[in-house]
Structure 1
Amino acid sequence: MELDNAFKDSLIKLRRNLHAFPEQGFLEIRTANIVKENLTSLGYEIKSGLEVMNKDYLMGYPSEEAFKAHIDKLNQLNEALPDFKDGYTGIVATLDTNKPGPTIALRFDMDALPITESEDSNHYPTAHGFSSKNHGSMHACGHDVHTTIGIGLAKLLMDHKTELKGIIKLIFQPAEEGVRGAKSMVESGVVDDVDYFIGSHIGLNAKSNEIITSVKGFLASSKLDVEIQGVSSHAGAKPQDGKNALLAAATFVQQVYAIERHEQGASRVNVGTLQAGSGRNVIADKAYLQMEVRGENNIVNEFMIQRVYDIKSGIEAMFGVKINITKVGEAISIEPSENMEQTIYSLLKEKFPKLNIIPNETTPSGSEDATYYIDSVMRNGKDAIYMNIGSDHEYNHHHPKFDVKEHDMFNGISCMYEIVKLYNGN
């Protein structure tokens, strides 16, 4: 479908609005209000918050201090933001055609990263006046574009409602970064009735005017916070009375990096932060680490987690400390539907001859909690895939100068519209 220029201009304006005030996971209060306002005005049935999120499966939920600090920033904007102040920012917008047909769902993530955006004049958002005004947060992975694609697609679908059948669900998800938000939405049942599911991402390994029909190779992953409790003591006078949390943490880090390989696939481990100690002559009584493990498949990831807990037990015995490990994020590995991949590949090749349509991509990359939706749908005997909307980007995802080519989001909207028409067209 050819999109008119006025529609494109409105989406660019929306994307820049979202980019200028990025919000991290479960803090997407302004973003979710914008989504809800747009989709309500279009006539969608809206469910949100705990209607579509299961509290028992929330991971990595922000502290009260983080909420308060963010609310204080929002109050300075002087904008009407009536909803989502509790941080349950998930939204499901439903278009029911009232005609028999399948149910298709598409997911769009909304959250930003804890990155300070570049102020260099050669950084496109800075040069054009829409770089982050929420210092310390940045849309450095394109989720502002994803949210815009979802809203743009919503308008197209509603404009052509008479040409559609069945039910279309648009899922706007919080907290994909750190793979924290999807599981609570899946466990609330948002895809229990879904026949076809599509997740997607802009950029990644695909260039502008490329569309990868099905991305495979996402790594299973678990994000862990590790707290070590020791005993403080004078390092000179009473060293024997101390239980050194800093030394325990250092040994813990060395040992997790030494975890053996597994025959069933590649693995990853990273300790991203370590905080410990209060003074030169004080034996540290506390240490805190943020770490992650990943596996080429779920078996390898579970092996990595088990070895981390084995190391925990050894460190506790060796140093006399207590270690608490909290899972704050998780994703699984999946194999998407081959039938859906081939069907959509053939469709897009026919409809978009000027685009380079690629059937699949299997290079192991990061992790993505859209895998929970895909797994849930496919366990029910239905079909699900994850697409890549190509876009050139000079700097990698999660870089302070990351940006995509705005016009590429129109390829995403057009392709998704044709896919929905394929499955839910009259």
Structure 2
Amino acid sequence: MLKDNIQEVFEHIHEHPELSYEETETTEYIYNYLKEAGFEPVKFSNTTGLYCDVGSFEDGNLIVGIRADIDALYQEVNGIKQANHSCGHDAHTAMVIGTMLKIKDDPALEAKGVRFIFQPAEEVGTGALSVVDEGVIDDLDYFFGIHLRPIEEATNGFATPSIEHGAAGSLKFRIVGQDAHGARPHLNHNAIEVGADIVNMLSKIHINPVIPSSVKMTKFLAGGKSLNIIPGVAECGIDMRAQTNEQMDKLKERVFNILKYIEEFYDVKIEDKEFSGIVASESHPDAIEVLRRSIVDVLGEEKCLEPVVTSGGDDFHYYTVKLPNLKGAMIGIGCDLKPGLHHPYMSFEHSAMQNGTEILYRAIVNAQ
């Protein structure tokens, strides 16, 4: 039974988690599973992960993409730091493979092609960009993702046709000055005091209050064992969030201006600046409508929720930002997930994977 296949895949992926860009065994497992099921998967050439085409890819045919993310988080579980599937990627992979098994040899694919993509490294926010570089997204007309939702957003048996994630960014940097003797504070600028000024200035950033955003210092390491040394060096980190990409651009500009001002005012260096982040969702209305119809087909009108707006992020949205003509959106599956995403002991109702599989199948059929 399909339900058993989905559970089998889930259990294997769940019990064998791998970190971002280290998903070699996961890639091999999916590849071999699909080969044994009669598919012709193709491993990516420059990264972990793979894709598999099903249906007809003749000129003029509609091409639909379906994405699963395959990496795990690194966190402490039962006192041990390890790879751990607490974000649902094991379930996403199981649902996508379930969809492949369901649609194989389906007459609905006589004039339609489907590319199933198993993407690495979502948790570090760059896996989607790696897949874009592989060139396998270029010819897609639609692209659908899927993600389990916490119980606060969607209970079991419900689903949303769109998850509107915000943009997220992380900035690492070092305050670089000189240490000084505790008795001679006039000979340097205390990196702790410099950092405190950065924290205070971040709190004074004011941009459009109608659009949610936040910025805060999340890492600050300075000083050492000798408490009679005024530290001149500190390692710092800043977390930035914004609901739109335009708002994130404004936030980044203000943050970098603050660091430039701090350099000049204190005569210190801000070095090793390293920014990484993911973009906010830019879901396509046509894709949302296809997913809405598909949820109604499977669960009924009363179980189809409005698009969920969340400050969380997902690198899936790089696909539609990088390829503006791509009609993309992400399904949110209610599954009574608790205590929450990324909690080391996250749990959810496994029967919801069947709902996700059926909705993905209908999305392929309904895409026009």
- Report the TM-score when normalising by structure 1: 0.77
Cα distance, 1:142 vs. partner?
0.9
Which residue of structure 1 aligns with residue 204 of structure 2? 258
Q: 1:303 to 1:402 in 2, by over 3 A?
A: same
Deviation at 1:232, TM superposition (A): 2.3
Are 2:362 and 1:414 aligned? Answer: no
CA deviations on 1:206-250 (whole Å, 9 max, x unpaired) are 11111212233x2122222222222223323x5444343333223
Distance in structure 2 (CA, Å) of the matches to 1:387 and 1:43: 25
Q: Secondary structure at the match of 1:194?
A: coil
Conserved 8 A contact 2:20-2:120: yes
Structure 1 contact 25–176 (Cα < 8 Å) conserved: yes
Q: Determine the C-alpha separation between the residues in 1 that align with 2:83 and 2:286.
A: 39
Question: What letter is aligned with 2:332?
Answer: N
CA contact (8 A) 2:45 2:134 kept: no
Say which of 13, 16, 32 aligns to 1:21: 16
* Equivalent pair of 1:391/1:408 in contact (CA under 8 Å): yes
* 2:314 equivalent in structure 1: 368
Change (3 A) 1:180 1:275: farther
Q: CA deviation at 1:367?
A: 1.7
Question: How many residues are paired up?
Answer: 362
Deviation at 1:187, TM superposition (A): 4.2
* Offset of residue 361 of structure 1: 1.9
1:199 maps to a residue whose letter is G
Q: Does structure 2 retain, via aligned residues, the 8 Å contact 1:256–1:269? A: yes
Unaligned runs of 5+ in 1: 51-87, 120-133
Query: For residues 284 and 36 of structure 1, do their structure 2 counterparts lie closer, same or farther at Cα, with a shift above 3 Å needed?
Result: farther
Instruction: Specify every segment of 5 or more residues in structure 2 that has no aligned partner in the other structure, as ranges.
Output: none
Displacement of 1:38 after TM fit? 2.2
CA distance in 2, matches of 1:190, 1:254: 45
Structure 2 contact 163–310 (Cα < 8 Å) conserved: no
Alpha carbons of structure 1 residues 264 and 147: separation in structure 2 relative to 1, 3 Å: same
2:176 to 220, 226, 229: 229
Match of residue 158 from structure 2: 210
Contact 2:39 2:52 in 1 (8 A): no
Q: Is the 8 A contact 1:179 1:331 kept in 2?
A: no
- 2:66 matches 1:106: yes
Partner of 1:160: 106
What whole-Å deviation, never above 9, does each CA across 1:74-108 have from its counterpart, x for those lacking one?
A: xxxxxxxxxxxxxx324222225355521111111
Q: Which residue of 2 aligns with 1:294?
A: 241
Whole-angstrom distance in 2 between the partners of 1:241 and 1:161: 78
2:346 — aligned with what? 402
Aligned residue number for residue 96 of structure 2: 150
1:34 equivalent in alignment to 2:29: yes
Q: Does 1:340 align with 2:300?
A: no
Contact 1:253 1:271 in 2 (8 A): yes
> Does the 8 Å CA contact 1:48/1:89 hold for their aligned counterparts?
yes
Structure 1, residues 380-412: CA drift from partner, whole Å, max 9, x if none?
2x4222111111023011222211111211111
Distance in 1 of aligned mates of 2:83 and 2:128: 21
Q: Which residue of 1 aligns with 2:255?
A: 308
* Cα distance in 2 for residues equivalent to 1:294 and 1:98: 39
Q: Which residue does the alignment assign to 1:383?
A: 327
Q: CA, structure 1 residues 350+406, in 2 after alignment: closer, same or farther (shift >3 Å)?
A: closer
More strand by share: 2
Match of 2:39 in 1: 43
Shift of 1:319: 2.7
Equivalent residue, structure 1, for 2:276 = 328
Q: 1:10 to 1:96 in 2, by over 3 A?
A: closer
Checking the alignment, whether the CA contact within 8 Å between 1:246 and 1:284 is kept in structure 2 is yes
* Of 76, 80, 93, the match for 2:52: 93
The match for 1:269 among 215, 236, 255 is 215
Q: Is the 8 A contact 2:294 2:359 kept in 1?
A: no
Are the equivalent residues in 2 in contact too, given 1:178–1:223 (CA < 8 A)?
A: no
Give the root-mean-square deviation of aligned CA atoms.
Answer: 2.6
How far apart, CA to CA, are the structure 2 residues paired with 1:274 and 1:20? Answer: 35
SS in 2 for 1:396: coil
* Matches for 1:174-193 after TM superposition, within 5 Å: 174-193=120-139
Query: 1:349 & 1:28 partners in 2: Cα distance?
Result: 35
Distance 1:32 1:352 in 2: 32
Identity %: 26
In structure 2, relative to structure 1, the CA distance for the partners of 1:98 and 1:189 (3 Å cut) is closer
Looking at structure 2, the residues matched to 149 and 174 of structure 1 have their Cα atoms a distance apart, in angstroms, of 16
1: CA distance, partners of 2:98 / 2:358: 10
2:115 is the counterpart of 1:169: yes
Secondary structure, in 3 states, of the residue corresponding to 1:201? strand
Structure 2-normalised TM-score?
A: 0.88
Give 2:54's aligned amino acid: L
Query: How far apart in 2 are the matches of 1:160 and 1:247?
Result: 66
Query: For 1:255-303, what per-residue CA distance to the aligned partner results, in whole angstroms no more than 9, with x for missing partners?
Result: 2233113256221123332222223122324322232212221121111
> Residues 302 and 283 from structure 1, CA distance in 2 versus in 1: closer, same or farther, beyond 3 angstroms?
same
| TM alignment of 1:346-365, pairs within 5 A | 346-353=293-300, 356-358=302-304, 360-365=306-311
**Matched residue of 1:115: which SS?**
strand
